[in-house]
Structure 1
Amino acid sequence: MPSEVVLGEMYFPPLLLAVLISYCTTTLFSYVGNRIGLYRYIAVPAIFELSLVVIITGIISRFWYLV
């Protein structure tokens, strides 16, 4: 991962941006999953969402240089 990301004149750690992107992706997935009825098969939705954020953050941080 790069050492820092510059947006305008502000410096951000890359992991913060990866978590922000993964949280937005998880929120979108949760909305769609709730609309189609996927969440009735999940025992604890809060833990599922948290683990999905961690998994997506790991994927984004692994392939950060490819973007």
Structure 2
Amino acid sequence: MSEIKIISIPHRDANGFLIGFKRVNALWNCPTCGEAMGEPKLTSHAEDGYSGSVHIWTNPCGHVVHYKDLKTLV
């Protein structure tokens, strides 16, 4: 069974520009290998005049998962 985590990520427009931050429900398995991902930790983020907090993590499997590659639930 997949674990679901609520995390904060950058919110970008269709052109990729940061327009704020959003919270998402993410399936917490690596999309590459299916293993559980590392524990998310909040960190400060500033870009394009916006500042806030986003979650970052390091996966035990070694795969890097970008925010855009997360499997999120609506």
TM normalised by structure 2 equals: 0.21
Greater fraction of residues in strand: 2
Q: Which has the larger radius of gyration?
A: 1
Greater relative contact order, per chain length (Cα 8 Å cut-off, separation 6+): 1
Greater fraction of residues in helix: 1
TM normalised by structure 1 equals: 0.22
